[in-house]
């Protein structure tokens, strides 16, 4: 008896890249006080500890809006990012407990990022089923 061949499962792609800030789209607004605090921390440390997370086809920021705006305020033109297959199972989407919006979809996140119709700050909560390592990057290397 001949057994049917299994189809190979496509492994979701995750890649690290230092990305041009101008190519990215946010999907939620920021909190000014948090931005000010983070900007000062990055200025003091001289580096960004953790890359942001970006949907690979649409260049929508999934996690890291405040990090991006802090780097922009510090004169950076580039940002370290993990680009990921957003619609894969390795990216889980939820909302923060105090979020104004209680239910969102990945399609809505992409739509808002592409159109500029932003969610309130700290609405979406993206978690990964895989571990992504911190990759400290000097601020000078991002200008």
Contact 42, 71 (CB under 8 A): yes
Q: CB within 8 A of 115, min separation 6: which ones? A: none
Active site residue 28: yes
Helices 65-73 and 32-45, interaxial angle, to 10°?
60
Contact 52, 80 (CB under 8 A): yes
Q: Annotated catalytic residue: which of 28, 36, 69, 107?
A: 28
Q: CB within 8 A of 46, min separation 6: which ones? A: 138, 139, 140
Any idea which residues carry the catalytic annotation? 28
């Amino acid at each position: 008896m001949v057994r049917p061949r299994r189809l190979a499962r496509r492994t979701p792609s995750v890649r690290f890249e230092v990305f041009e800030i101008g190519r990215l789209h946010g999907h939620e607004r920021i909190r000014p006080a948090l931005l000010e605090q983070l900007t000062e921390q990055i200025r003091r440390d001289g580096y960004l500890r953790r890359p942001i997370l970006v949907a690979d086809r649409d260049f929508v920021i999934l996690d890291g809006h405040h990090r991006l705006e802090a780097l922009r305020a510090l004169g950076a033109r580039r940002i370290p990012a993990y680009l990921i297959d957003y619609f894969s199972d390795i990216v889980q989407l939820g909302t923060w407990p105090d979020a104004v919006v209680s239910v969102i979809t990945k399609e809505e996140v992409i739509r808002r990022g592409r159109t500029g119709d932003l969610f309130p700050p700290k609405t979406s909560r993206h978690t990964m089923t895989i571990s992504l390592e911190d990759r400290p990057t000097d601020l000078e290397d991002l200008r």
